[in-house]
Structure 1
Amino acid sequence: MQKFFSSRKLVIVVVCLIVSFGLMSLSVAIRDKRNTPPLVQQFGNDIVGFADRIVAAPMNGIHHGFVSTKNLLNTYQENARLKSKVDQLTQTQVKDQVLTRENKQLKRQLNVGSTLTGYEKINAAVITRTPSTWASQIIINKGQASGIKKNMPVIAGPGLIGTVAEVNKTNSKVVLISNTAENSNRFAIQVLGDNSKVVNGIITSYDSATNRIVMGNITSKAKLSVGNRVTTSGLGGVIPKGIYVGKVSKVAQDDYGLAKKVYIKPAANLNDIEVVSVAVRD
């Protein structure tokens, strides 16, 4: 009897499997022929979709909450950094204004007229820069009518970019310090070397391969290091003193090994010049 029931259970299991496979095959066949699934399947799909939405809604809310909190913290930290920089900039501007006013008062007290560092700025926009002369010159929208004169220095951003080479009534041509032509932009500059010693020289050339200004005609033997600041010396007669040029990137010997050659990384980005300032000596 027990053996009979055992065989009967096995037969029932096999029949159930066959019926299940048959129903599945029938369902697939009907689904392929119909545009919509059967009613039972639709009901099941709706229940599953509803359950997914119930589970997904709070999970998405939690995820977005974490993301929003993280973005808020990042924004707060960035805002704190920017606020600190703004405060420093404000302090620097106030200090600069105080020193400028004090300098003028001292000049009046000592009856000192114009000095090498005194200059005003005339702002101008770049109106022409062609690909063929990209590294050598630009045209600005200020000329004689605005007080521009030949050989005046031109500044863009933090540093010197060149000098005025040609002046018209309403525009001017500026020769860039990246111009490799002979006798171009050969003006006096100086380096504040180690131990606060000043080393004078002139811009002798431009190394286009490394994007470096080359300073030559150096007579001082004072030690120079990478990172020393370079400014105009004002000794040429036209260019004011103290205009930032760049930083020393390398110190080497000339081709004959008799004098120093200083390679300077320009402070200004010579590939992105849109607005400039022309320095006019007082």
Structure 2
Amino acid sequence: MKRYGAKVLVLFLSVLLYFTNLSTLPFINQLYTFLRSVVQPLFELKGNIIENTKNAISTYILLKDANIENQKLKKELQAYYLYKVQLYACEKELQGLSKVINLPFEVKKTSLVYANVIAYDPSGNDTFILINKGQDAGLWEGMVVFYEDKLVGIVDEVYGGSSRVRTVFSKDFSISATSKDKAYIYKGGYPYGFLLHVNLEDQLKVGDMVLLRSPYKNLPPLVIGAIVNISEEGKSFFKRVEVKPAIDIRRVSTCTLIKEKL
């Protein structure tokens, strides 16, 4: 039995050696080269098909997401049209009432500037952004910057073709604010800002909204954020009130500026 196994092994090695030697013949080399030239494009085609399929799927997903977002924006736009009609009706009623009681009433049109964000705070604290409008668009320091109904910040430096906006996350940012119809000062901070001069008897609670307050009523009550924590500071006459800004700076690619003095 052992002798038979040895013969089989010798035969297998002989056949293997034979084919190995054949592979060195010119004819075999030419055949191998020909087969490789035929098969190689098929593998390349397969790779291209896989890559193109991946790209097509990615494009389809992006288009689908864009379509969903577009439908959402259309619905919001219709709601804004309704609000516009309602506001127009209110204006007419107020104008009629002002004539009856002899009280002047004027609808003031707000001048806006639209800008794109070109840079963010590299520190990650979102204390400022750069926008692509400056002296060329008639901007000045102190202009209010917002996105949707949320306050982004205030223009603090204006250049020729760009401007820097100090955001609600900056420790150097402060602005008049209101919550529960009382006036406060909002001071920026990261990740939370603060309401200053909140008396111990003030009935604020977690979740209350903090809005922009315009002393001259020339600016809309933009959303600054919401109260997330209230505590008493020892024997102080004031509460410590932390506010989480409503704006997500990193998601802001475009913004709007109000051409009004703060």
Contact 1:151/1:238 (8 A) holds in 2: no
Deviation for aligned residue 1:36 = 7.6
Paired residue for 1:19?
Answer: 4
Deviation for aligned residue 1:132 = 7.5
Paired residue for 2:227?
Answer: 248
Contact 1:231/1:243 (8 A) holds in 2: yes
For these two proteins, the number of residue pairs brought into alignment is 213
Distance 1:103 1:238 in 2: 17
Is 243-252 or 264-273 further displaced after alignment? 264-273
Alignment of 1:1-282 (within 5 A): 14=1, 18-28=3-13, 30-31=15-16, 34-35=19-20, 89-111=73-95, 112-114=105-107, 119-127=110-118, 131=122, 135-156=126-147, 159-168=150-159, 170-181=161-172, 185-191=173-179, 197-206=180-189, 208=190, 211-219=191-199, 221-226=202-207, 228-235=208-215, 237=216, 240-254=219-233, 256-271=235-250, 273-281=252-260
Instruction: Sort the Cα spacing of 1:129 and 1:173 in 2 relative to 1 into closer, same or farther, 3 A.
Output: same
Distance 1:86 1:157 in 2: 16
Query: What are structure 2's unaligned runs of at least 5 residues?
Result: 23-56, 96-104
Q: Which runs of 4+ in 1 moved over 6 A?
A: none
Deviation for aligned residue 1:159 = 2.6
Distance 1:259 1:164 in 2: 30
Query: What are structure 1's unaligned runs of at least 5 residues?
Result: 1-13, 38-70, 192-196
Q: Could you say what secondary structure the match of 1:19 adopts?
A: helix
Contact 1:232/1:239 (8 A) holds in 2: no
Distance 1:129 1:223 in 2: 33
Identity of aligned residues (%): 16
Distance 1:29 1:229 in 2: 89
Deviation for aligned residue 1:160 = 1.9
Cα displacement string for residues 142-199 of structure 1 (whole angstroms, at most 9, x for unaligned residues): 2344343332211246632210123455433322222223xxx3212233xxxxx445
Instruction: Sort the Cα spacing of 1:223 and 1:35 in 2 relative to 1 into closer, same or farther, 3 A.
Output: same
Distance 2:124 2:221 in 1: 28
| Corresponding letter in the other structure for 1:31 | L
* TM-score, normalised by the number of residues in structure 1: 0.59
Cα displacement string for residues 55-104 of structure 1 (whole angstroms, at most 9, x for unaligned residues): xxxxxxxxxxxxxxxx9xxx8xxx69x75x76555333212221123213
Q: What RMSD in Å do the two structures reach over aligned CA positions? A: 3.9
* TM-score, normalised by the number of residues in structure 2: 0.62
Distance 2:119 2:72 in 1: 36
Contact 2:143/2:154 (8 A) holds in 1: yes
Distance 2:217 2:123 in 1: 29
Contact 2:169/2:193 (8 A) holds in 1: yes
Instruction: Sort the Cα spacing of 1:93 and 1:261 in 2 relative to 1 into closer, same or farther, 3 A.
Output: farther
